[in-house]
Every structure is written in structure tokens, then in C-alpha cells.
Amino acid sequence: MLRLRTFRPTNDKIVKIQLHPTHPWLVTADASDHVSVWNWEHRQVIYELKAGGVDERRLVGAKLEKLAEGESEPKGKPTEAMRGGSVKQVDFYDDDVRFWQLWHNRSAAAEAPSAVNHVTSAFSSPAPATKGRHFLVICCENKAIFLDLVTMRGRDVPKQELDNKSLLCMEFLSRSAGGDAPLVAFGGSDGVIRVLSMITWKLVRRYTGGHKGSISCLMTFMASSGEALLISGASDGLLILWSADHGHDSRELVPKLTIKAHDGGVVAVELSRVIGGAPQLITIGADKTLAIWDTISFKELRRIKPVPKLACHSVASWCHPRAPNLDILTCVKDSHIWAIEHPTYSALTRPLCELSSLVPPQVLAPNKKLRVWVYCMVAHPLQPHLVATGTNIGVIVSEFDARSLPAVAALPTPVGSREHSAVYVVERELKLLNFQLSSTANPSLGSNGSLSETGRFRGDSLEPLHVKQIKKHISTPVPHDSYSVLSISSSGKYLAIVWPDIPYFSIYKVSDWSIVDSGSARLLAWDTCRDRFALLESSLPPRIPVILKGGSSRKAKEAAAAAAQAAAAAASAASTANVQLRILLDDGTSNVYMRSIGGRSDPVIGLHGGALLGVAYRTSRRISPVAATAISTVQSMPLSGFGSSGLSSFTTIEDGFSSYRSPAEETPQNFQLYSWETFEPVGGLLPQPEWTAWDQTVEYCAFGYQQYIVISSLRPQYRYLGDVAIPHATGAVWHRRQLFVATPTTIECVFVDAGVAPIDIVTRKKKEEMKLKEAHARAVAEHGELALITVDGPHTVTTERTALRPPMLQVVRLASFLHPPSVPPFLTLPKQYKGDGDDSALQREMEERKTNEVAVGGGGVSVAMTRFPAEQRRPVGPLIVVGVRDGVLWLIDRYMCAHALSLSHPGIRCRCLAAYGDAVSAVKWASRLAREHHDDLAQFMLGMGYATEALHLPGISKRLEFDLAMQSNDLKRALQCLLTMSNSRDIKQDTTGLNLNDILSLTTKKENILDAVQGIVKFAKEFLDLVDAADATAQADIAREALKRLALAGSMKGALQGHELRGLALRLANHGELTQLNVLVNNLISVGLGREAAFAAAVLGDNALMEKAWQDTGMLAEAVLHAHAHGRPTLKTLVQAWNKMLQKEIEHAPSTKTDAAAAFLASLEEPKLTSLAEAGKKLPIEILPPGMASLSALVSVQKKPVPAILQGSQQQQQQQQQQPGKPLLLEAPATATATTTAPSDSSEATAAEANNPSSSTTNPGPILQEDATKEPDIQEIPVPVPVPVPVTTSPLTTD
């Protein structure tokens, strides 16, 4: 249960310490008066200063500020240059500190039965007083230092401005009227309390006539009557009560009540909240006593000496569910944190932990005689599981089982009732808590959406909802008062209470609260489908002896050894325990129907209920020396448990309720799921979760781990959906597809949808087939063989597209401790402040902010301007999440008070309704949400599977509307969205004949067409997707409209990409739009897109048009290939034109510059000339298809038939012995084994020709004069000319 959260070593002892309520900040002051602000979560130092002396950095900074403000010569000695003296107190002050101070005082006063109606824990948040600044306030003996941690600007108030009296303590006051907020009260050495305004920095009032000695402590609290009070303790041993309500304008205030509290002086005072009673005051004095006082009669309730012979220096009110009877923590100068059990009854003092065991061993290793001494202690005001202590070796932040939850369980609400119930355990009493919203017209119920008087949407306010709650006593007694865990069966008829420290369990029948089953067990888990449960049987372990105070004595050591032996015996007993299954029948009896589940021999350490039973086993793992030291220390702690328990409440045996492990330790695979029906394992081993949550509909489950939550779907089969990074979650509750999660600092909502996977489609088809077979079987059973007779008639086939949808997980934070962020002061506040008009300025600013957050729609409906509401206030301490009832999220805290979180903000309400399955109501509620957030809401509804309903949102964009229409198969609306987005609504049927000449001669009408074409090009992919969707659902009209516009865009050069044009051609041919396809080909030819035009012509099946596409666009190589493959009569003409083009390219080839050496070397490689007459000849270049005769007038030599084996060698010989004067022929023999070499750029055309049955594959294309396995370099062929002739061919034919 105990573990070290963080540790910071220091060189000097820490004498003052304080925690910030909402930020992970900790301020300390050591014995040398060095003040340090430390982020204990990230282990970083935020700020350090030397408060006792003169901090040179602050002094230099103050001088630079004055120089920047224009003051050349400082007037007098700056306050930063004054020595502060001894640091007496350190604290934080900002809006968070102010709010939670008020909340703490008010909630404690509201517990009293005599509390007036307006004193409740739910109150309006006060106006921001610090404007986003976070003050570090240091009370020194000679001055008070106010340092803003945001701007790092400070202000020092010397004691000369406070009547020149030393400052010994301070407290922040909460004002109810006037313009002097915020206020801080300082206790002086003369017994006078002086109040300073943090706005004007002037002394505003004094509390005089009370103390005769120096004041040592101050504290504010609220009486049950609602009056704000200030109490002070001094060295004269007196407690004096003052009025802290400054409604009157008196400058001198006299005491209301004086009490003699301690002999020798009051050291500290603390307020303790009591469940169901008035708050109490706790004081510690120099006389080594601790006194408890009633705040109504102010009589002494109890006085004890927590630790003999040692005086307490720190005290804190504590309320942790793991130790329900420990209400007070205190520290003396030793190494323990002491806890007081039942302070007003038995008042037993027990050591909560021994801090030496939490310190890392390497700190104590250099000096074995070094002991840990505690000098100060503070409990976290909002997270009771955190306790910080200042010691002689550093700061220790301890954590006490953050996963423990209050002993309360919510009962099912009857249908139609607005009153909800929960049962809880306090000490040895079973009580019933009835709670409901105080007003039925609350906007959270969805009854109205009107504006409040301030123009603010009521459901969007930051003020908590008012709850009416009544606590009733149940006559049935509870056998134990130790830590208990409550749970409810699936039907809500039975309540289970487990005391794991005893160990013992009881099953109560809710109708009459009779016990139906009980026994010895440490763990219990319910089935979510039936009233049956599993429990871990456990025998009673030997009792651990109590260690007397003074743990260093010989008896204490003997008792520690006995405690270790008892813990080992308990561990051995737990290892032999079995998991037993029991069922509760309708007559209220409990029956065992499975003695032991699971065949593993490992001891069970955890049970988790749900649709499947989860069992966690202890696996053997290596324990680090640090963990071993901690375990041995904790097992030997002087604790005997509570309520006559045999096993210590703070033992480290892994019982499922102990502290979670360090994140550095590897999580073992030790968690197995079992079926409740067959008792067989389901799946493999998993890491053990800290908690599990199962949906009531058995569709989803969540496993909580230390740093994340794993969410899975269960139907049609188990499928992992994802994990959400919500660390340290303590519990969660499902509400359909909403998972409400509680963490120590926040309340989160996770919206979950499994999406649509392929397995879902297969399962749906199988279910439909099964339904058809069942219907067929029923028909045969009813009507016999006549049912098999069918009559053929016209059938209308409706094809439904089922689109896959990925899983969706969206996290929304509903509540936290943090105050809503405000604008930093350097942006809003002027340099000088007026005390008189500041309050009205704050009110005006708040009213303007409230008005700006809403807009009024038609009919007076308020419209929320934010996507999500501002974070609400999370209740303090560990919480039980009850769930959503009456449209609000209910929570119950450690003090057994119900809290309601509003879900009425339209951004949240719409999502909750959609997740619940009521998408129609979600669309109706969207009218209260600003339209700029409708796209985000529509995306959420699309992820939830409500694309059709999301189309009705009025503020969605056209682009999203198209996606939604496609998802919902509303193709007609999708077409209209595309026409609007592409600006092509006015395209007529005859516009597809737009050619190049029309484009070049633009008119006004054709300019509009050109704009439409640009829009079509932008959304070409969407148009093609729409055509495919229309084809799949047999909506030809929509496909034709889209194709018509695509054809228009395809007629313009460069508008569409090649793949888009080819896809368009295929779709036109598929729809039989041959006329438009023919027009498209002609337009593509006119704009010079030869390849695309040829592909379209190939799809059309027109060889002449395809040849024209190649020829008219200058792609003669492709035209020759096409004519040769299809035996076209125009082959010779095309070859001549192609060769002429090549000859022309050779003649006009640019000359390259070469030097003399390169020209000489090149001439050596050229062929020799036989005569001078051959020097002036340039033979024509001819590239012919295979088998085609030469086009030259010269007569070519007849070739004798040669066997195919010698053909390749003869070709090489012929190439070397070619006679001069004969034209150069780049030709390959037309053999049957020739390999086809197709041009790369005409791959689409040749593919189309291959599909044409008229295509010939005998002579596939021209092959260069070389064997088929090697492509020759044309320039390497010896040509008998006097100069080298560069032969250039198109890359289309030599690839």
C-alpha cells in the first residue's frame, strides 16, 4: 500500500513545506532560509531564492525594471535590498487556492445537521481575483515577499508598512463584500493581526485586543450558520475567534471568543471535516498534546498525547478510504508519520509509515548511522493519497494506494423515478443515501434551452448543479468497521460487502437487507448477466501482534519478527485458496455450483467480474533490493489492522487492493479470463489490469492499466479497438457507447464505436442466411411441401453498399481541479490599480465574457459558441462513478455526498445522444450549437455510424456533406454537392462538344464553362467515385450526369491526368456512351493528347480513329506499330512519313564542339573510305517493321535461305561485310521465334490492341538488327561514310 512517489535530496533540513492544490508544485524552506519551488511530478526546480538574506538576482531584476520604467535614480533603498530574516511560512495563492479554500470551508460547514440552507458544498465560483497570476507568498520576519510565478515579477512589503512589527504567520481571507480583495492577514509579534490588500498593497484593518503574546498560526473556516470566521493561536496558549466577514467598514476588530487551548503556546491549528456532523478544530501545542474542539459550542472534545515525550510540530486532517478510521495525521521529530484512529473515541495513535524505508538506499548508504527526522508535514488538500514530508535529508512525497475507492455502491433506479439511491458503510453502520437534482426544471434535464438573466446558456455554466440528498439509517448491523468494498449484482437485488483485511464477506438482499450468504473471503466478483458471483476462499490467518510505541526497543523487534511470521503464514494460506462460484436463486438462497475454477497451481491475487470472470495469478518474478527492503519494512510495521482484523491493512501481499507497482517493473502475463458457463479459459494470458468495466449490453469492455485503458468490442467476436492514454484511472462505468472514467485529478468521457470490420459483414450475411433457413423451415413445417412451390415474377434487385468504418475513440474531459484559464495580467490589467473601482470592473468584465460566450438564435434559443464546455469542478478525493441518470453524470465522494456533473452543453449532449443511439435527438440538439462546430459533430456522428442523420445538420460544409451522402448511399445529394462545389450545375448536354477552337475564342458563357471545368478537375476523383457508386447501385442517371461533366473536363488539354482520362474512357464505354466517347476522342486529338485519345479509341474499338490519334498528334512510331499489327493499308505511307521525320531530325541535329585530340581519336575509329566519291554521300536512314521491303530505289541483294541456327551469325557477318553504297537497313528477320519489344510509352495502346481480336501477333514490331537478347547501340554499327552519321531515333521505338 505504501510507496515512494518522489524524493528530492537537500543539503539542509526542510522546516517549512506546502503543496499547491491543483498544480504539481511544492514549496519548501530550509533551515538556511532558502526557498525552493519544485515540480514533484516532473522533478524539476521551478524557482529558487534566498529569502532570509538579500537575493542578488531579484535585486538586479528590480533595478532593471525601474530603469525600464524611466526611473534613473532610485529613491531610497529598494525593498529587495532588505534582509528578510527567518522564513516563518510559505504558501501559494491564486484563483485555484482561493476557490478550494472556500470549498473546503463551506463543504465542512454543510455537513452539520444545523447548517442553514444556503450553506452547501455546491456554490458559485468567485470572481477571479488574481487574473491568471500564481503568487508565491513568503512570510519572513522582516518582510513579506509576493512573487508572481508567471511573470517572475515580485513585490516586497516590509514590516515598516505593517506597523514595524515582525511577521510570524499569515492566512488568506475570503471577502464577501467591498473592493479590497484579495486580502492576506499577517500575525504579528505584538499579538495583533494586520490585513493587507493585494491590490492597493495598503493596510486595510487590524484585529486587536486579543493575544498578549506573539501569534503563531492563523486559519479561516465557516460556521454552520454560514458566517466566515478567523481563528488565531499564539504563544500565550489562547485560541481566539474573530469575524472574517468584512461587510462592515470597521478598521479595528475585536475578538468574538477566547479559549485557553494549550499550556506553553499553540503550534498549529487545522480544520477537520466530519461526515454528518459539524466540523472540528484540531490544535497542537507546545505541551505535547493534541486537542479536538467542536465548532458549534467550541468545547473540547478530546485531548491526547500522540507520542509520549515528543511534541507535535505538524498536523493534518486526513480522509482516505483505505484507512476509514484514521482521521488525523501528525508528525513529531522522529522518522514516522503518525495516524490517530477514532480521534474522539479510542484515540489510538498508530505509525502510518516509517519514512526510512521509503528513502532510496543509496542516500542512506554512505552513512549507516544516519536517521531520518521529520520536521514538517502536509497532506495534499485535494488528493488525500499524497502526503509530503520535510526531513533532514530532503523532501519525501509518499503515496497511499490511490486506487482505493469509497465504500459505497449505487442501486438501480426504478423506472420513472427521479430519486436515486446508494448504500454505503460508515464505521459499523449500513446507510442509505437518496439523492436527486434539487430542481426538475434544471437545464441538464433537457427541458429548456433558455437564456439566464446574464445572457448565458444555463447548461454551460461553471457552477455545479444543486443536489438534494438525504441519508437514512438501515437497521441491519455491519460486523466490521475496517476497509470494505461494496458491489451490486447484475439485477440490483443483492449487495456484496467484502472486508479484505479480516477477511470476510456478506451478501445482503436489498429488499429487506437480510443476509443471504456470508463467510471467509478476501475477493469477490459478480457476473454481469446473472446473479452469481465468484469468491476467493480464505482461511483466517494468525493475528499480527501490535508493536508498542518506541519501535527501537527489543520488544518492538520481537514483535516485528512475529509480524513477519504472521505475514508469511497469511501468504501461505492465500496460496492454497480456491476460486469458488456461487449462484443466488430466486428464493434468495445461495448455492455453490463450482468448487474450484481454473487448473493453475499459482495463488490467486485478484478477481474481476463482468461478462467473463477474470482471475489474476501471482507469478514468480525477481524482486529488486529496494522492493525487498520496502516489503520487509512494511510487514514489520506496528499495525494490527482495524476492526479486530487478523491481517494488517497495510500489508504488501498482493491482494488486488494493494498499491500498484512501479512503472519500471515489467507487467507479467498473469491474467486469465474464464467463462461463467463452461468454466473454461477464454483466450490466452493477459497483463493483469487494475480494474475492468463491462458494458451492460455485453458489447464493449475496458481494462484499466496504470498508464492507459484498453478498449475492446465483444460482438460478433472479441476485437481490440485501441487504447486511450488516461493514466492512473481508478474506475469507470459504461453507458452504452460512453465510458465515464475517474482519475485522481479528472473526470473523462470516452466515446467508443467499433466501426464496421470485414468480419461484421460476413457475420451479418450469415445471420441473414440463417434467418432465411429458419423461415423456410417454419414454412415447410406449417404448409408441407407446398411451401417449396415458388412463382417466378419480376424481381427488383437492390444492391446495398456496406462501407467499412474504422473504430472510433474520442476522449472529452468533463471535470478537473484546475480553474478556467484567464488572460495573463500583463495583457489586461493596467500598471496602476484603483481600489475603489476594481470590483465593479471585474463584474463588468465577467458579464461581458458571459455575454460573448452565447449567441441568440431564432425563437430565443441560446446557442453555445464553444465546441465543448469549460471543465467543471471535480469533487475532492477518490470517487465512485455512479453513471448517467436524469441527463447528468452522478458521482459519490469519500464523504458520501452525491455530486452531479452537467452534460447539457450541446457539444456534449449531442455526442451522448448519438452514442446512446438516439441520433435524431442529437440532430435536434445541434440547433443549440454554433454552426461552425457542426462539421466536427458530423464527423463524430459519421464515426458512430450515423451518416444519414448527420446529413440533417444545417451547418455542415459541402465537402463533408458529400462524404456523408456517399456513406449513406444518398448519391443524388452527393451529386448535388459535387455540382455546387465544382460550379458545374449549369453545364448543358451540348457542352460536351466544346473543342479547342471554342476554348481559344472564349465568350462570357464559355468563361463560365472554363470555371466549371476547373472545378470538375479539382473534384475529378470524387466524380469518378460517384460514378462507381452509382454503377454499384444501378443509378444510371446520376452516373451519366457525372460522366457528362468529366467528359467536358477531359476535352481540355492538361485538365485531367492520364489515369483519370483512361478511367473516364472506360466508364463511358461501360455506360454505352459511344457518341460522347467519340467526341472525347476527337477533342483529345484536337488538344494533342495522343496517348489518351488512342486509349479511348481502343476502348471504342475504332482502329482507324486510333491510328488517326497517333498520326495527328505526331506519334508516328506508335502509328507504324498499330498499322503493322493490324495490317492497315496505310502502313507504307506511315513508314515513309516516319523515316522522313527521322531524316529531318538527323539533318537538323545540333553540332557539338570537340577539340582536335578528340576529333583525331574519333577519326581512327571510323570506317575507311574506298573512294573519294563516297565521301560526299549521306545514305538515307530507314527503320522498317519486320518483313517490310526497303523503300529505297536501289535493288537489294537476294538472300539465300539459311537455317535458323546459322541465321544469327550470318546477320553479324552481313553487317560487317555490307557493301558501300547500299542504304543502311536497321531490320531484323521476321522469324516465328522473334521476341516482341513494345514501346514503353504506348503500353496502353498495345494493351488495347491485344484485346482486339483483329490484332496480329506474328510480327509484333520493329526489332533492331541484332539478336533478340541484346539491343545494339546504333552508333556502334560500322557505316561506310567518310564522317560519322548520328542516327537518332525516337525513344518510343528503341526502348
Q: What ranges in 499-646 are assigned the alpha helix state H?
A: 554-575, 625-635
**Is the sign of the CA dihedral 644, 646, 652, 658 positive or negative?**
negative
How large is the average pLDDT for residues 657-672? 58
Extract the C-alpha cell encoding 1213: 557477318
Helix (H, G, I), strand (E, B) or coil at 1098: helix
Reported as type and span, the H/E element at residue 138 is: strand 135-140
pLDDT of the residue at 1161? 64
Q: Are 803 and 1025 in contact (CB under 8 A)?
A: no
What does the pLDDT look like over 751-808, one tens digit per residue?
999 888 887 778 778 888 888 888 878 877 877 776 666 655 555 444 455 678 889 9
Q: Are 30 and 12 in contact (CB under 8 A)?
A: yes
Predicted confidence band at 314 (pLDDT cuts at 50, 70, 90)? very high
Cα 1112 from Cα 1215, distance rounded (Å): 36
Q: Are 196 and 135 in contact (CB under 8 A)?
A: no
Q: Who contacts 329 (Cβ-Cβ below 8 Å, separation ≥6)? A: 315, 316, 317, 318, 337, 338, 339, 340, 352, 377, 379, 387
pLDDT of the residue at 897? 93
Given a cut of 70, whether residue 404 has pLDDT beyond it is yes
Given a cut of 70, whether residue 1083 has pLDDT beyond it is yes
Give residue 531's identity as a one-letter amino acid code. Answer: D
Cα 1041 from Cα 1026, distance rounded (Å): 10
Among 556-560, 813-817, 925-929, which stretch is predicted with the lowest mean pLDDT?
556-560
Cα 767 from Cα 772, distance rounded (Å): 9
Given a cut of 50, whether residue 245 has pLDDT beyond it is yes
What does the pLDDT look like over 1198-1216, one tens digit per residue?
444 444 443 444 444 444 4
Name the residue among 1253, 1143, 1167 with its Cα closest to residue 1218: 1167
Q: What is the largest CA-CA distance in the chain?
A: 139
pLDDT of the residue at 693? 95
Given a cut of 90, whether residue 484 has pLDDT beyond it is yes
What does the pLDDT look like over 275-294, one tens digit per residue?
888 899 999 999 999 999 99
What does the pLDDT look like over 1035-1049, one tens digit per residue?
888 888 888 888 877
Predicted confidence band at 3 (pLDDT cuts at 50, 70, 90)? confident
pLDDT of the residue at 1233? 37
Place of cell 527492503: 629
Helix (H, G, I), strand (E, B) or coil at 5: strand
Tell me the CB-side half-sphere exposure of residue 1016, using CA atoms within 13 A.
30
Given a cut of 50, whether residue 990 has pLDDT beyond it is no
Give residue 1052's identity as a one-letter amino acid code. Answer: M
Q: Are 253 and 207 in contact (CB under 8 A)?
A: yes
Predicted confidence band at 563 (pLDDT cuts at 50, 70, 90)? low
pLDDT of the residue at 878? 94
pLDDT of the residue at 575? 55
User: According to the 3-state scheme, what is the secondary structure of 1193-1212?
Assistant: CCCCCCCCCCCHHHHHHHHH
pLDDT of the residue at 121? 53
Among 331-340, 538-547, 1114-1123, 1243-1252, which stretch is predicted with the lowest mean pLDDT?
1243-1252
Which neighbouring-strand residues pair with 303?
Answer: 291
Cα 130 from Cα 146, distance rounded (Å): 12
Is residue 14 packed enough to be buried (19+ CB in 10 Å), middle (13-18) or exposed (0-12)?
Answer: buried
Given a cut of 60, whether residue 26 has pLDDT beyond it is yes
Given a cut of 60, whether residue 716 has pLDDT beyond it is yes
Name the residue among 327, 324, 239 with its Cα closest to residue 284: 239
Name the residue among 525, 533, 809 with its Cα closest to residue 692: 525
Q: Are 478 and 429 in contact (CB under 8 A)?
A: yes
Cα 317 from Cα 894, distance rounded (Å): 14
Among 980-989, 1086-1095, 1262-1271, which stretch is predicted with the lowest mean pLDDT?
1262-1271
Q: Who contacts 1070 (Cβ-Cβ below 8 Å, separation ≥6)? A: 1031
How large is the average pLDDT for residues 101-129? 73
Given a cut of 70, whether residue 176 has pLDDT beyond it is no
**Is the sign of the CA dihedral 35, 37, 41, 42 positive or negative?**
negative
End-to-end CA distance of the chain: 77
How large is the average pLDDT for residues 22-50? 93
Extract the C-alpha cell encoding 57: 538576482
Extract the C-alpha cell encoding 1234: 522473334
pLDDT of the residue at 568? 64
Extract the C-alpha cell encoding 849: 465574457
Cα 149 from Cα 97, distance rounded (Å): 14
Q: Who contacts 720 (Cβ-Cβ below 8 Å, separation ≥6)? A: 710, 712
pLDDT of the residue at 215? 94
What does the pLDDT look like over 1090-1112, one tens digit per residue?
777 788 788 877 777 877 777 77
Cα 450 from Cα 453, distance rounded (Å): 10
Name the residue among 616, 741, 627, 606 with its Cα closest to residue 687: 616
**Total Cβ atoms within 10 A of residue 1150:** 4
pLDDT of the residue at 406? 93
**Is the sign of the CA dihedral 1086, 1091, 1095, 1101 positive or negative?**
positive
Higher pLDDT, 991 or 936: 936
Place of cell 515582525: 166
Cα 515 from Cα 507, distance rounded (Å): 6
Helix (H, G, I), strand (E, B) or coil at 370: coil
Q: Who contacts 442 (Cβ-Cβ below 8 Å, separation ≥6)? A: 465, 888
Higher pLDDT, 495 or 1093: 495
Higher pLDDT, 1005 or 803: 803
What does the pLDDT look like over 824-841, one tens digit per residue?
433 333 333 334 444 455
Reported as type and span, the H/E element at residue 1006 is: helix 1004-1018
Q: Who contacts 414 (Cβ-Cβ below 8 Å, separation ≥6)? A: none
Q: What ranges in 131-182 are assigned the alpha helix state H?
A: none
Residue 740 sits at the vertex; the CA angle it makes with 746 and 95, to the nearest 5 degrees, is 20
How large is the average pLDDT for residues 797-826? 71
Round the average pLDDT of the chain to a whole number and report it. 76
Pairing mode, strands 669-674 and 613-617: antiparallel
Letter string b/e over residues 896-923, b meaning 16 or more CB atoms within 10 A of that residue's CB: bbbbbbbbbbbbbbbbbbbbeebbebbb
Reported as type and span, the H/E element at residue 1132 is: helix 1131-1147
Extract the C-alpha cell encoding 761: 459483414
pLDDT of the residue at 658? 38
Q: Who contacts 341 (Cβ-Cβ below 8 Å, separation ≥6)? A: 325, 326, 347, 348, 349, 350, 642
Pairing mode, strands 87-93 and 44-50: unpaired
Q: Are 199 and 181 in contact (CB under 8 A)?
A: yes
Name the residue among 714, 664, 675, 706 with its Cα closest to residue 688: 706
**Total Cβ atoms within 10 A of residue 345:** 10
Reported as type and span, the H/E element at residue 1043 is: helix 1036-1050
Length of the chain, in residues? 1295
Q: Is the peptide bond before 807 cis (omega within 30 degrees of 0)?
A: no
Chain CA centroid to CA 637, Å: 40
pLDDT of the residue at 303? 92
Cα–Cα separations (whole angstroms), residue 528 to 487, 491, 532, 612, 735: 11, 8, 9, 8, 14
Q: Are 24 and 41 in contact (CB under 8 A)?
A: yes
Left if phi > 0, otherwise alpha if psi is -120 to 50, otherwise beta: which for 859? left
* Helix count and strand count (H, E) for the chain: 28, 61
Name the residue among 1000, 854, 1003 with its Cα closest to residue 930: 854
Extract the C-alpha cell encoding 945: 455510424
Highest mean pLDDT among 708-717, 1146-1155, 1171-1180, 1189-1198: 708-717
Given a cut of 70, whether residue 929 has pLDDT beyond it is yes
How large is the average pLDDT for residues 8-36? 94
pLDDT of the residue at 1009? 75
Q: Are 1106 and 1094 in contact (CB under 8 A)?
A: yes
Q: Who contacts 1155 (Cβ-Cβ below 8 Å, separation ≥6)? A: none
pLDDT of the residue at 462? 53
Name the residue among 763, 759, 762, 767 with its Cα closest to residue 807: 759
Higher pLDDT, 79 or 532: 532
Cα 238 from Cα 631, distance rounded (Å): 44
pLDDT of the residue at 1216? 43
Q: Are 294 and 356 in contact (CB under 8 A)?
A: no
Highest mean pLDDT among 376-380, 552-556, 571-575, 598-602: 376-380
Helix (H, G, I), strand (E, B) or coil at 204: strand
pTM for the complete prediction? 0.77
